[in-house]
Structure 1
Amino acid sequence: MILLWGRISSINVRKVVFALQLLELPFERKDAGGAFGVVRTPQYLAHNPNALVPLLDDAGHTLWESNVIVRYLAARQGSALLPTALRQRFDAERWMDWQQTTLNVAGREAFIQLVRTPPAQRRPDLLAQSVAATEPLWDLLDAQLAQQAFVAGDAMSVADIPLACEMHRWRGLPLPWQERPHLDRWWERMRSLPAAAGVLDLPLS
């Protein structure tokens, strides 16, 4: 049995849950992080010194960093989600890194301001900066999806998992959405997957 530590309100935990469900791998998830605590205990820190979620325990083999866990699970199963062709694989990995280092960084403050900050304490300037930084990135992804059905090709790959979770977070914010036909088509396809249940249909918190 695979054990996953992390609260489902975390985008990074949702990535791993989505991957596990896509791969039809049985797992148990235990709440950790935020109000649940756990992550500062000596036992947890021994496996994840960053005191963050998620933490995956696969029969004693532990991993942290959500996108790495997604790739590990796909490789573990020999899944087509992890392309075997060298260039396609690293194209997929490039988009995964882009999600983590660029798109997530740009959009995170809007989420913090609109979901996790009390209205009286919100900073409109920080919200506006986050929106201004994020909107062009959705245009970039829309242009990528104009060329193919999924982010890294005509078949779904590990790249689609974190980006779908990022889209779920952004589309859950009370912000106007500019129609982007290719991105919207991809998003509807992703959220309609059976494995998306309990991940891409959750309210933000």
Structure 2
Amino acid sequence: MLQVYGRENSVNVQKVMWTVGELGLAHHRHDVGRGFGGNDQPWFLALNPNGTVPTIDDEGTVVWESNAIVRYLAARYAAGTLWPQDPAARAAADIWMDWQQTAVNPAIHPVFWNLIRTPEAQRDMAVVEAGREKLDRLFGILDRHLADRRYIAGDSFTMGDIPLGAMTYRWLHLPMEREEAPNVSAWHDRLAERSAFREHVMLPLT
């Protein structure tokens, strides 16, 4: 059985669990990391020397780094659907998955940390404002991309929607103002029709 290590309020774990839910895979998720601990223990470091979540063990195949896990699960269990067979469609999914990690994640992290995990009196609102401006610009790029397609890689839901979809939920639910992005909002509404998204991503921000 697939073993997933990581706490449910981690957006990176949510990506993996959403993928698991889409695939209907039998699994067991273990609470690891932050308040649960365990990720500094020898048994965990033997799986992932970085001590980070998520990490999976799929019948002896160990994978870490959230987007790598999403790709692995899609390729192994959903070739032709979540994992596009067409190289051009797969490249489109890959581009936006990498963009989520290299552009959106660095911009949203300090905003999320200040607004959600920092006591109000200790928040650095200058950092929040700078991050908000970056996020408005980035989600403007995504909004233009989604102007003529239903999903990230075209008209079908693929692995490319998962990392950005999880981050978009966070962006839309952070307690701050944001520029309107109607195409992003419509795409998010389509994602919210998926039961696995509702179960694993649409959670309180903590």
Q: What interval of TM-score do these two structures reach, taking the shorter chain for normalisation?
A: over 0.9
CA–CA separation in structure 1 for the residues paired with 2:201 and 2:18: 8
| Aligned-partner residue type, residue 142 of structure 1 | D
Alignment of 1:145 with 2:146, yes or no, is yes
Corresponding residue for 1:21? 21
The letter for the 2-side match of 1:83 is P
Mean alpha-carbon deviation: is it higher for 79-88 or for 107-116?
79-88
Segments of structure 1 that go 5 or more residues without pairing to the other structure are none
Q: What is the percentage of aligned positions where both structures have the same residue? A: 40
Counterpart AA for 1:90: A
Which segments of structure 1 move beyond 4 Å, counting only runs of 4 or more? Answer: none
**Residues 170-200 of structure 1, C-alpha deviations (whole Å, 9 max, x = no match):** 1221112433221111000101211113223
Partner residue of 1:171? 172
Deviations, residues 2-26 of structure 1 (Å, cap 9, x unaligned): 1100001111000000000011111
- What are the within-5 Å matches in structure 2 for residues 47-126 of structure 1? 47-79=47-79, 80-126=81-127
Counting only pairs closer than 5 Å after superposition, residues 173-188 of structure 1 correspond to structure 2 as 173-188=174-189
CA contact (8 A) 1:2 1:57 kept: yes
Give the Å deviation of 1:143.
0.4
Is the 8 Å Cα contact of residues 104 and 138 (structure 2) preserved in structure 1? Answer: yes
Task: State whether residues 191 and 200 of structure 1, in contact with CA within 8 Å, keep that contact through their aligned partners in structure 2.
Answer: no
For 2:19, the aligned partner's letter is A
SS in 1 for 2:94: helix
2:171 and 2:43 map into 1 onto residues whose CA distance is 34
Structure 1-normalised TM-score?
A: 0.97
Contact map agreement 1:74 1:158 (CA 8 A) in 2: yes
Bigger mean CA offset, 55-64 vs 195-204? 195-204
Structure (1 or 2) with the greater helix fraction: 2
Which residue type is aligned with residue 43 of structure 2? Q
Residues 60-83 of structure 1, C-alpha deviations (whole Å, 9 max, x = no match): 211100001001111111331111
CA contact (8 A) 1:74 1:81 kept: yes
AA matched with 1:32 = V
SS in 2 for 1:146: helix
Instruction: Please report the TM-score for the alignment, with normalisation by the length of structure 2.
Output: 0.97
AA aligned opposite 2:130: Q
Q: Distance in 2 between matches of 1:95 and 1:161?
A: 10
Letter in 2 for 1:62: V
The 2-side partners of 1:170 and 1:62 are apart by 30
Query: Could you tell me how far apart the structure 2 residues matched to 1:178 and 1:125 are?
Result: 18
How many residue pairs get aligned? The number is: 205
CA distance in 1, matches of 2:113, 2:55: 23
Q: Deviations over 1:33-61 (max 9, x none)?
A: 00110000011001101111001010121
Consecutive unaligned residues in structure 2, runs of 5 or more: none
Deviation at 1:129, TM superposition (A): 1.1
Q: Which amino acid in structure 2 is aligned with residue 20 of structure 1? A: V
